[in-house]
Amino acid sequence: MKQLDRYLRDVRIAKAGRFVEKGDVVVDVGCLDGTMFERWSETIEYSYGVDPTLAEKREERGYVLYPGLFPAALPEGIECDVITMLAVLEHVPKDAQDELAAACERILRPGGRVVITVPSPQVDTILEVLSRLRVIDGMSLEEHYGFEPADTERIFAPPAFRLAEKRRFQLGLNNLFVFEKPAAAG
């Protein structure tokens, strides 16, 4: 991972960290090497990461990383307070997006949050140029298919989720979405 890749990852981790509370259990979809869990180690409880680029399961103090795709790679029975998908949704094929949202609803506790960052479509062109110049590694660029950030709200729609926050960052080239699962009726 090149320096610019790390910088972009670190910005996304910092943005998402605002929505993680002390004691939360987090599932990170697209966890890579678990850097996010290391950064949040003083805040989060035991957490879980899933990434198709991992060669094998890896257990660390406070978290475990599973190779494979979400949700199939996660063991049964996991519940969490936060699900993060930082620069992931643009890699999910359109025909798998509804299943992804349904899985999030299943494992997320009532009142829990889904924190998503997704680039604007013009970022693909920028990343291709930076990749050719070898400024970034451009991880899995071939999986980008021009995802429209506005589709995020359709995928994580009511009644399963409520949009809690939506904003652009990095000069409008990235988008942050936070959805909440409604609290259980009391």
Establish if 81 belongs to a structural domain. Answer: yes
Q: DSSP labels for 111-131?
A: EEEEEEEEE-TTHHHHHHHHH
Residue 138 located in a structural domain: yes
Residue 68 belongs to a domain: no
The verdict on residue 159 lying in a domain is yes
Model confidence over 38-75: pLDDT tens digits?
A: 999 999 988 999 999 999 999 999 999 999 999 999 99
pLDDT tens digits in sequence order for the chain, 186 residues long:
567 667 778 999 999 999 999 999 999 999 999 999 999 999 998 899 999 999 999 999 999 999 999 999 999 999 999 999 998 998 888 899 999 999 999 999 999 999 999 987 765 565 665 566 665 655 554 555 667 899 999 999 999 999 999 999 877 788 999 999 999 754
Distance (Å, rounded) from C-alpha 14 to C-alpha 23? 18
Distance of alpha carbon 169 from alpha carbon 12, whole angstroms: 10
Asked if residue 55 belongs to a domain, the reply is no
- Is position 34 within any domain? yes
CATH of the domain at 14: 3.40.50.150
